[in-house]
Amino acid sequence: MSDKKDQYKKTYPISWEQLHRDSKALAWRLVELQEWEGIIAITRGGLVPAAIIARELDIHMVDTVCISSYTWQAQGEINIIKPVDKDGDGWLLIDDLVDTGKTAAVVRNMIPRAHFATVYAKPAGRPVVDTFITEVSQETWILFPWDSESRFVQPIAGIKQEKL
């Protein structure tokens, strides 16, 4: 299991508002492709974007494929908790992020005919997805709003004063 501090050199914080805007932008791309039978959200990260996209595309059939591969600080073994028993024809497969592509490849093999869309993509995982909105570098850790909270940060000038 690799630790995030070893491979991630940058942090990209995402606010709830930005996630909503980016998910809606993804819906704009998807609405023009075809009418969809339903959405399969990859849990847990894909739940929020899937809900936004389902609303925007007026889709009421939402299923989940439940996979665990991350803790808050590392990517580890892929654990399929709940598979989906369909080939995906006419379905959208939604996730928040494709990182290394390992989890995405497992899901893609499980549901091969689904249209795979993510809000964010990194270069190593991009080939596995069909549609995405924003690409970030491989060494960037995306800090999603459900993993963070707002708090006071001391001004830089105050930090400098403390070191003197």
Residues recognised as catalytic: 95-96, 99
Residue 27, H or E segment: helix 16-31
Please give the full DSSP string across 29-62, using - where no structure is assigned: HHHTT---SEEEEEETTTHHHHHHHHHHTT---E
Q: How far apart are CA 42 and CA 78, in angstroms?
A: 13
